[in-house]
Amino acid sequence: MPQMKIMFLDESGDHSLDKIDQSYPMFVLAGCIFDFDYYFEKAEKQVNELKICFFGKNNLILRSYDIRKQKSDFACLVDRKRREEFYQALDNLVKRLEFKVISAAIEKNKLKNQYSAPDNPYHLCFQFILERAVMYLGASREKMMLKIESRETHNDQKLAKIYEKFKENNHRYITAAEVQRKLADLSFSQKMQNIAGMQIADLVAYPLGKWVLNSGAENKAFAIVQKKLHRRPNSKDFLNYGLKIFP
């Protein structure tokens, strides 16, 4: 029986091209790929252990924005010592977990300047990731399930249509038959469902966006995420493999 992979996807930034936050004019979609059995037998447990260790409960959502701003369940991180201890533990967790990242980042100002009628950044990133996910599986007999954070019914329906259309058509490097063999399922989950893999994807997405905005700046979080990025075989190259930047 073919081995199953599961990819969790979450975003950083918003997909709007009408009102662009110039402090972070990015949209990033990050996909974290786990072996199915490893995720449910080990990875989930390790994420929950971190939550219980620092917050005494596991029914909270690790959300990058709330952590950075010390909001909601993370208000206790205003204490510098506690914050540094948590960041170190979180860094160690991401390093320790076994997963790969396939992501896409769009610089929204460049997209608007280059195209007169640009497509929705979320839709573009999703298509980039679908293509790379199939190529990531390569010649193996592995299959992949995709789980995405729900963003309202109409948005989910649009993504589902993109997914089905992608499966139906041949592409530049892959055939429809190959896509159908490798992509097993797409499902949507609410953030409140507290899915550990989705939270890891959320934590991964923001450092990628910051690095794309300013690749010369020190970015400790990106240095950790970078090691998880899918790369060209026998190479250190991750651009266009684990990270697609557009345009």
pLDDT at 1 (0 to 100): 60
Beta strand 26-35 pairing with 183-189: unpaired
Distances (CA, A) of 5 to 37, 59, 137, 232: 8, 25, 9, 19
Nearest-CA neighbor of 176 among 119, 131, 242, 232?
131
| pLDDT score of 44 | 98
Query: Token digits for 66?
Result: 């709330």
Phi, then psi, of 105 in degrees rounded to 5: -130, 135
Q: Which residues, 6 or more positions from 1, have their beta carbon under 8 angstroms from its beta carbon?
A: none
> Domain coordinates of the chain in residue numbers?
4-246
The Cα 139–Cα 112 span in angstroms is 37
State the pTM of this model: 0.96
CATH 3.40.190.80 fits 4-246, yes or no: no
Give phi and psi for 199, each to the nearest 5.
Answer: -70, -35
Instruction: Read off the tokens for 158.
Output: 């649009």
* Alpha carbon 193 to its chain's center: 17
pLDDT in tens, the chain (247 residues): 679 999 999 999 999 999 999 999 999 999 999 999 999 999 999 999 999 999 999 999 999 999 999 999 999 999 999 999 999 999 999 999 999 999 999 999 999 999 999 999 999 999 999 999 999 999 888 999 999 999 889 999 999 999 999 999 999 889 999 999 999 999 999 988 999 999 999 999 999 999 999 987 889 999 999 999 999 988 889 999 999 999 9
Q: Where are the alpha helices (DSSP H) in the chain?
A: 36-38, 44-55, 64-69, 80-96, 108-114, 121-137, 153-168, 176-182, 196-213, 220-226
